[in-house]
Structure 1
Amino acid sequence: MTITKYMLVALALCFLTSAYAARFDITNRCSYPVWAAAVPGGGRRLNSGQSWALDVAAGTKGARIWARTGCNFDGSGRGHCQTGDCGGVLECKAYGTPPNTLAEYALNQYNNLDFFDISLVDGFNVPMDFSPTSNGCTRGIKCTADINRQCPTQLKTQGGCNNPCTVFKTDNYCCNSGNCGPTTYSKFFKDRCSDAYSYPKDDATSTFTCKGGTNYRVVFCP
């Protein structure tokens, strides 16, 4: 078989994609089941102590991993979750419904860096650890406070703690104009999880980077 230049280009592209793809090891250490969700990736039930290895393609952006709680699905994968529901399906294709603690990431972006964060902009439902596990990158993020128990009365909801944008839907909380700043409610989240996004413009202290090709872990209830 003759190898053409087109085949060589295809092989090179395939190598680059595999070289920079990332693996996310998702583990449930909560004392109760969670239904892990990922876009891209889908979803599955994780009993306490169970894990799910998820391989994600290079260049993926706008991605999320989160835990759903209080779920009930039938044999066809249809049902509903108390928190983090993604359209009533086990295999998520869309983002979850607040409140849900989010692990967000974009792979191989500017200068071939991965960007990752924990976000409470959609509220909080379970504690989370989101950390690199390879490539010499060691700076991880945790949000382990008991936010559900401490949640302000106005933000309390079944199974979690809402972000104020979800409740009040005003510009100073939702930042629709792009000019919002910290609020009393965002400071509540920031005081308890200093590395996590507490409102939409909380970039300076909440976005972290690793070299492309790094693998990660996401742990619920670390």
Structure 2
Amino acid sequence: MGDCGSVTECASGSGEPPAILAEFLLDFPIDFYNISLVGGFNIPVSIVHSGGARDCANGPFLRCKTDGGQAASGVKLNAPLTNLAKATVSRATEVVTRRNVPVPVVNSPVTPSRPVDCNSATCLSDLNHHCPHELQVRRNGHVVACKSACLAFNQPEYCCTGAYNNPKTFSPSNYSRMFKDSCPAAYSYAYEDSFKHFYLELIT
């Protein structure tokens, strides 16, 4: 969701930052989605499940049925995160590395004893209204986008590069925390692991 100049399809696969990203990895029977603020923010975004029916009464397995009535792959607690979709190891690795939200159609790992719904991913706060001056992109006197710290300063400590190219040496900045406070369902830096306490396993 960014500018591609005079064309409708971006050659790079994404618009020119700063731009919020709605990312999808569709790989039946388990799909993934997330909202990313790593490249900055320009407009509010929401990914909302449409159709289907809940079927979350099967012990530790949490499922959301597709419209055709066939249960999509679900979530099992206490299984290693690396067990994700054995048939798609490379894609699963990408998902885990980028901290995408695991979903079967649309799903999220929660405690089974709690009410379960097919969750939406949202970033509905308008970060442009409280974007720090040094991150602002202005047009005609108005803030139209908010850069990430990496985009604004291009420094290793903000971009997860160089000595910081490791989740053990990289820590979120105050800027990424500001993004996270405004949009807790989105990820705000490359090594963020918002779901490190959840586990999932493909159900076949």
Give the TM-score normalised by structure 2.
0.55
SS at match of 2:48: strand
SS at match of 1:115: strand
SS at match of 1:167: helix
CA distance in 1: counterparts of 2:195 and 2:153, whole angstroms: 25
**What is aligned with 1:143?**
123
Match of 1:187 among 177, 192, 195: 177
SS at match of 1:132: coil
CA distance in 1: counterparts of 2:45 and 2:7, whole angstroms: 23
Aligned in 2, Cα 1:155/1:93: closer, same or farther, shift over 3 Å? same
CA distance in 2: counterparts of 1:205 and 1:145, whole angstroms: 21
**What is aligned with 1:97?**
16
Percent of paired sites with the same residue: 38
The answer to whether the 8 Å contact 1:195/1:205 transfers is no
Match of 1:157 among 124, 137, 140: 137
Aligned in 2, Cα 1:87/1:178: closer, same or farther, shift over 3 Å? farther
**What is aligned with 2:158?**
173
Q: CA deviation at 1:91?
A: 2.8
Q: CA deviation at 1:143?
A: 0.7
Unaligned runs of 5+ in 1: 1-65, 67-83, 212-222
Q: CA deviation at 1:161?
A: 0.3
1:125 aligns with 2:42: yes
Aligned in 2, Cα 1:155/1:169: closer, same or farther, shift over 3 Å? same
CA distance in 1: counterparts of 2:5 and 2:195, whole angstroms: 32
After superposition, give the CA deviation of every residue in 1:6-43 in whole Å (9 maximum; x if it has no partner).
xxxxxxxxxxxxxxxxxxxxxxxxxxxxxxxxxxxxxx
More strand by proportion, 1 or 2?
1
After superposition, give the CA deviation of every residue in 1:30-70 in whole Å (9 maximum; x if it has no partner).
xxxxxxxxxxxxxxxxxxxxxxxxxxxxxxxxxxxx2xxxx
Aligned residues: 125
Aligned in 2, Cα 1:171/1:134: closer, same or farther, shift over 3 Å? farther
Aligned in 2, Cα 1:85/1:140: closer, same or farther, shift over 3 Å? same
After superposition, give the CA deviation of every residue in 1:141-164 in whole Å (9 maximum; x if it has no partner).
111112101001111112200000
Counterpart residue identity of residue 142, structure 1: T
**What is aligned with 2:115?**
none
The answer to whether the 8 Å contact 2:176/2:189 transfers is yes
Q: Residues 37-76 of structure 1: matches in 2 within 5 Å? A: 66=1
Q: CA deviation at 1:101?
A: 1.1
Give the TM-score normalised by structure 1.
0.51
Counterpart residue identity of residue 48, structure 2: S
